[in-house]
Amino acid sequence: MRTPRMTVVGAGSWGTTIASLAARNVPVLLWAREPGLAERITATHENPDYLAGHPLHPELKATASLAAAADQADVVVMAVPTHAFRQVLAELAPHVRPWVPVVSAAKGFEEGTNKRMSEVIAEELPGHPAGVLSGPNLAVEVLTGLAAAAVIAMPDLSVAQRLQGLMRTRLFRVYTATDVIGVEVGGAVKNVVAIAAGMADGLGTGDNTRAMVICRGVAEMTRLGVAMGGNPATCAGLTGLGDAIATSISPLSRNRSLGMQIARGKTVEEATHGSHMVTEGVRASRASHELAEKLGVDAPIIREINAVVNEGRTPQEAFRGLLHVKPATESEAG
Ligand SMILES: NC(=O)C1=CN([C@@H]2O[C@H](COP(=O)(O)OP(=O)(O)OC[C@H]3O[C@@H](n4cnc5c(N)ncnc54)[C@H](OP(=O)(O)O)[C@@H]3O)[C@@H](O)[C@H]2O)C=CC1
Ligand SMILES: O=C(CO)COP(=O)(O)O
């Protein structure tokens, strides 16, 4: 049997990192939107736009042709942000061979529909196994070889096990799971939690506050995940609590950084202006809030963060709003 080939779609920080890592195991083709960037990656083994100064695997090749990227793929990993996910997938779809698994590496819901990315995959590529790769995986840390772990969740465990072998390296441990919903909800909501934690840091609160924000944020994530059909244990693992911790404490996190800047008086537009990088938590707060409302899930942190980033509430007002949470037992509290 020939070695399976992987295609990674999206040459931002995370797509480039996954592609470089997997290139140790199998032939990988990385799709970049800009032909110039694709040529640079293939020729110089570096992505100057997103990961300057970090050498990539010498065997990694890139292309700007979606047809070429999809044509030979035995697995497709989608690493474009949620706002571009469906459109890129629709363009890719005619070129993907039947039954090839498609894995989302994005963290968020689709704007407008609030669908999970694996649902978008199922709609655009019906019949293909659709799943998700997620975890506490700040791209630069993973690329530079600092030990990390992720979860690949597919509805069929045997497919997840096959993909696990393509992605894992000595320092990047990949676990398998079948709870696609729980993993996807965790990846989206942790971005909202990270904005909240950054906001708390920016307001000058302490480590106790940060721990409270993370734990209560994960409680909201868990309630929402369960209401959507996920397993509560998933939210306590790498892709829920684990990622909420990494993103809420790391200076590398764009979501945490956004929260800090808002707390220091910037608007979302001012805080993100000039950055070509994606901050998924802005869209994820609106979607998570709408999903929580629709499903009758108590989610005060998500509600307040959405009010700040999408509706003009100030961080101080949001903080005061959270002080009015009703007394309750820890397991039922908002
Ligand atoms: N960075 C990280 O540490 C991690 C990120 N993630 C998730 O991965 C996803 C991608 O994030 P990340 O790689 O960090 O993002 P970056 O901001 O680093 O890069 C964004 C990528 O998406 C491409 N892109 C943006 N808009 C479009 C569009 N309309 N059509 C086609 N391509 C587009 C960009 O192409 P171009 O350069 O041409 O604009 C670029 O390749 C997000 O959902 C994120 O939450 C998950 C784990 C870790
Ligand atoms: O998802 C991530 C780490 O797991 C990246 O987080 P940011 O998008 O906040 O940088």
285 C-beta closer than 6 A to ligand 2: no
Contact assessment for residue 260 and residue 279, using Cβ atoms and an 8 Å cutoff: no
Domain 6-178: which topology?
Rossmann fold (3.40.50)
Runs of H (alpha helix) within 98-206 = 117-124, 139-143, 157-167, 180-202
Residue 251 has a pLDDT of 97
Domain 186-322: which topology?
N-(1-d-carboxylethyl)-l-norvaline Dehydrogenase; domain 2 (1.10.1040)
Question: Which sign does the torsion angle of CA 311, 285, 193, 81 carry?
Answer: negative
Q: How far is CA 214 from the centre of its chain?
A: 17
Q: How far is CA 297 from the centre of its chain?
A: 22
Point out the annotated binding site for NADPH: 13-14, 33, 50, 107, 139, 254, 278, 280
Residue 213 has pLDDT above 90, yes or no: yes
Active site residues: 190
Per-residue pLDDT reduced to its tens digit, 251-292: 999 999 999 999 999 999 999 987 888 899 999 999 999 999
Please state at what angle helix 180-202 crosses helix 300-311, rounded to 10 degrees.
70
Q: How far apart are CA 15 and CA 77, in angstroms?
A: 8
70 C-beta closer than 6 A to ligand 1: no
The H or E element spanning position 61 is strand 61-63
Cβ contacts of 250 within 8 Å, gap of 6 or more: 138, 256
Give the ipTM.
0.99
Please report, for the chain, the start and end positions of each structural domain, with discontinuous segments joined by +.
Answer: 6-178, 186-322
Q: How far apart are CA 225 and CA 240, in angstroms?
A: 10
Strand partners, 77: 8, 103
Per-residue pLDDT reduced to its tens digit, 127-161: 999 999 999 999 999 999 999 999 999 999 999 99
